[in-house]
Chains A and B, each alone.
Chain A
């Protein structure tokens, strides 16, 4: 479904601020895989998601979605295949448009937009059905402006909008990090439901190790632009936060000793 091969990305190359965000990274995801991504700050997690979504173009390597090479495809064209939810709850929706207008925008993911009416009875029916799944009562507020919703509600709506057209790949970038614990829990539950019901192939970055273990069928740990640890379904079943912390310490140590060795 998603094949990332030898992808590298360096920011500010040739300057004192040069930073390698992705270092010949490889990742393969099968259809229906739900991979959680953890790693320290600057490990390249968000860069990986940006490279897959097309917001950033990788320096080298190749990215294939569904066997199609998308290396040079700008983000708005990759959007046909890639759904995305950001950390900022305000990023995924248009605040001055109504809930139904936002859904209508999402409904046409990757399709040509012409002069047909943006809202119709039929579309509204679909939206009500989908919104009801969130169990937030938003289906009764179709004509409310999205800017009036709370952060949690907006993030739930963003998730729905990103997922309900069943994109080939779903990217979740710490999408519960900016919410209070209760709202984060709600959005996590909704995430599970949407991913499960749509059978979506999902790549989720999180800072929450407990969440990374609980969700999905695979877990990867990134460090300095590479995948340094990977747990498959079986391994993940018995994985604890303690294990992950230990792995984390090991990896950091390894890098340190490498450097010491070279230096």
Chain B
């Protein structure tokens, strides 16, 4: 249980990245399936080479950032559809990740990782560990909130909201899109780097289906906490990431097979996407008088 919360918090870093593309930019970016592993592979290889674990984690951010840049350039300069651009990078990264690791996995046995100090102090796996990780992720979330309220951040939010409008005020949406994709995948890569260190190895298949985990976290968290205010929306994403892990934890507890988890994740995303819509439809069919108010609220939220 505590382990699930810890892992959820670490995955919160990835969910923040997915939030940037999926919600802020309105761009479903499949690059993350590849860039997560890229970050993990980079950090693992760097740690094996004797790098400081913190530096290795940042290296994971950098390679993820580069992967996102490629998707961004394919989409903006190459005019390739967003989904396809992400798929292209993701598939290419599979080979690149194998190259980076020079194999299908890199074990980090008995290596110093970013989590070694926590483990040595005996707080990993306790509520103390949860507190430390929560603090770190919330700080990162606050950085995201701050960034999105700067002039640059505002122009990124406007790019996702009304691209032609913001370009009529002098912003190159090619630039803002590419930058956001890069930052998003930087976060995802960094998360991959952290997960590799947490679990003690990097593996070629660790990123498969990750986009759904990210979407599940974003949609679930925001369905529960809402997304009216920026601070709340960002915070909801982190909560969503933890919640997702707890649901998976519970699913395993009731005896479902780990192999079923991908289907569970997909189902979770479908439910989280459909429930708000059903609510609106139900209101219209059920009580006529409230139908308009429900429709109005959902319109406002949209």
Contacts and interface: CB of A to CB of B under 8 A. Distances in A.
Interface of A: 53, 74-77, 79-80, 82-84, 90-97, 101-102, 104-106, 108-111, 113-119, 145, 147-148, 161-162
A94 B165 contact: yes
B297 to A, nearest CB: 12
6 contacts: A92-B165, A92-B168, A94-B162, A94-B166, A105-B169, A118-B153
B161 interface: yes
A184 to B, nearest CB: 21
Nearest to A143: B229
B300 A94 contact: no
Interface in B266-301: 300
Interface residues of B, number: 23
B293 to A, nearest CB: 15
A113 B158 contact: no
A139 B147 CA distance: 26
Contact of A97 (B151, B152, B161, B300): B161
Contacts of A116: 150-151
A119 B150 CA distance: 8
B122 interface: no
A185 to B, nearest CB: 25
B157 A94 contact: yes
Nearest to B229: A143
A34 B44 CA distance: 65
A118 B162 contact: no
B281 to A, nearest CB: 22
Smallest CB-CB A-B distances: 6 pairs: A79-B170, A94-B161, A110-B170, A113-B151, A118-B154, A76-B167
Nearest to B26: A96
B164 interface: yes
Contacts of B167: 75-76, 79
B152 A115 contact: yes
Nearest to A84: B168
Contacts of A53: 168
Nearest to B151: A113
Nearest to B166: A105
A115 to B, nearest CB: 5
Contacts of A82: 168
Contacts of A106: 169
Contacts of A101: 154, 157-158
Contacts of B162: 90-91, 93-95
A92 to B, nearest CB: 6
Contacts of B155: 105, 113
